[in-house]
């Protein structure tokens, strides 16, 4: 067992649930933002996509939502934007739940729990994949690599050969290596690579169960938006923004925003940067985001945000992972500087 997990277990056994959240808010007021992707119960042996995108099981997610509702003050994106624009006060221990990408288990698994407990959340969607027949590009790639019979593959666009061992965990390692490299090439080369692999292995795609990795539909999005869920932009095609030319960058920022606004008849003022690490956005990207009339931008850099917010276009988030125990989850929210994994 990892040291952080042991420490979290000890704290959970020694301290009442109310103590850690109280300790965390003594020294400074801070905004905590949680980053999820998918909520699902899967059989890892038969699962054909990236299992690291599963942030929590259904039961664990309900535990997390109930814990948040009892010990923190869940806020909506609208409350945060009002705070930013009007200097309206946030409650003590404000916490915002967010999801990236727009997988349909957000509707089937997460939404009923959030609605049941009346806890708001925001889903950042990549509009180009809404109602997709297959799935978002990086899960397309994952499924193809996992399904290949080849022992290695040479990718022209990356000028590199990748070893594909037979065991699934090694294959996941190859996928991670390929994705790391893809995210560092010009976006036109990424698009060419994905298109070529889909064409070259078109017969293989018939063996992939895309029901395991479905994206949301607009009807589902509209239903959620009538209740506790708001929506933000995650661009159109989920590119790495720093790999785009100026025309493509502006198109990704503006078209995703306008599409969601048209479908929901509401103003979209928030964006989450795809990938979201320090290489995925920049001061130049932030200026273009401001030009596109967003009011707040979210990174995938791990951490919390002292209030008053210094830069509301690079808000940090805490990553919720499937392997986290309930003790670890509690400790992460209360002592993020110690329990952050990234």
Using 50, 70 and 90 to split pLDDT, how confident is the model at 335?
Answer: confident
- Tell me the two tokens of residue 64: 């997390």
**Residue after which a domain boundary falls, among 157, 191, 210:** 210
85 shares a domain with 27: yes
121 shares a domain with 44: yes
102 shares a domain with 142: no
199 shares a domain with 110: no
34 shares a domain with 164: no
In a domain, 283, yes or no: yes
Tokens 């038969």, residue? Answer: 46
Work out how many domains the chain is built from and give that number. 2
Asked if 282 contacts 8 with a C-beta cutoff of 8 angstroms, the reply is no
Residue 318, strand partner residues:
34
Polymer length in residues for the chain:
342
165: left (phi over 0), alpha (psi -120 to 50) or beta: beta
187 shares a domain with 73: no
163 shares a domain with 220: no
260 shares a domain with 157: no
What is the share, in percent, of the chain residues with pLDDT greater than 90? 85
92 shares a domain with 218: yes
Cβ atoms within 10 A of the Cβ of 281, count? 26
226 shares a domain with 179: no
Residue 98, strand partner residues:
35, 122
Q: What is the DSSP string of 111-126?
A: HHHHHHTT--EEEEE-
Backbone angles phi, psi at 52, to 5 degrees: -75, -10
Mean pLDDT on 111-134: 97
Task: Say if strands 38-39 and 54-56 run parallel, antiparallel, or are unpaired.
Answer: parallel
141 shares a domain with 122: no
In a domain, 204, yes or no: yes
Where are the alpha helices (H) located in 236-291, listed in sequence order? Answer: 246-264, 283-291
Cβ atoms within 10 A of the Cβ of 227, count? 12
Q: What is the pLDDT of residues 187-217, one digit of tens each?
A: 999 999 999 999 999 999 989 999 999 999 9
**Residue after which a domain boundary falls, among 154, 182, 210:** 210
Q: What is the pLDDT of residues 39-97, one digit of tens each?
A: 999 998 899 999 999 999 999 999 999 999 999 999 999 999 999 998 789 999 999 99
298 shares a domain with 161: no
In a domain, 106, yes or no: yes
Nearest to 157 by CA among 136, 188, 180: 188
pTM for this prediction: 0.95
Range of the domain at 265: 3-127+214-339
Q: What is the pLDDT of residues 251-266, one digit of tens each?
A: 999 999 999 999 999 9
Nearest to 176 by CA among 317, 36, 52: 52
**Residue after which a domain boundary falls, among 176, 210, 244:** 210
User: The domain spanning residue 105 has which CATH number?
Assistant: 3.20.20.370
In a domain, 132, yes or no: no
pLDDT of residue 2: 78
pLDDT of residue 315: 98
């Amino acid at each position: 067992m990892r040291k952080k997990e042991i420490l979290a277990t000890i704290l959970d056994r020694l301290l009442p649930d109310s103590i850690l959240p109280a300790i965390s808010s003594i020294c400074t007021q801070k905004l905590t933002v949680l980053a999820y992707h998918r909520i699902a119960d899967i059989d890892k042996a038969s699962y054909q996509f990236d299992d690291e995108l599963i942030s929590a099981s259904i039961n664990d997610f309900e535990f997390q939502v109930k814990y948040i509702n009892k010990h923190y003050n869940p806020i909506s994106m609208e409350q945060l934007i009002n705070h930013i624009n009007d200097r309206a006060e946030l409650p003590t221990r404000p916490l915002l739940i967010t999801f990236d990408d727009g997988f349909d288990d957000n509707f089937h698994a997460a939404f009923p729990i959030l609605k049941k407990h009346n806890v708001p959340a925001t889903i950042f969607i990549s509009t180009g994949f809404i109602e997709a027949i297959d799935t978002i590009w990086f899960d397309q790639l994952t499924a193809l690599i996992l399904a290949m019979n080849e022992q290695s593959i040479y990718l022209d666009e990356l000028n590199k050969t990748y070893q594909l061992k037979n065991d699934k965990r090694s294959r996941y390692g190859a996928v991670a290596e390929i994705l790391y490299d893809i995210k560092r090439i010009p976006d036109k080369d990424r698009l060419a690579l994905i298109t070529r692999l889909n064409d070259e292995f078109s017969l293989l795609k018939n063996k992939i169960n895309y029901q395991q990795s479905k994206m949301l539909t607009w009807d589902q999005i509209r239903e959620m938006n009538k209740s506790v869920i708001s929506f933000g932009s995650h661009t159109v095609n989920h590119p790495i923004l720093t790999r785009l030319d100026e025309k493509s960058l502006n198109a990704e920022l503006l078209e995703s925003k306008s599409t969601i606004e048209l479908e929901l008849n509401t103003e979209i003022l928030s964006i989450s940067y795809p990938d979201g690490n320090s290489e995925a956005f920049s001061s130049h990207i932030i200026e273009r985001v401001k030009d596109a009339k967003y009011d707040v931008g979210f990174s995938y850099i791990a951490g919390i945000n002292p209030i008053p917010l210094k830069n509301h276009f690079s808000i940090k988030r805490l990553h919720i992972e499937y392997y986290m125990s309930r003790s670890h989850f509690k400790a992460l929210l209360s002592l993020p500087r110690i329990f952050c994994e990234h």
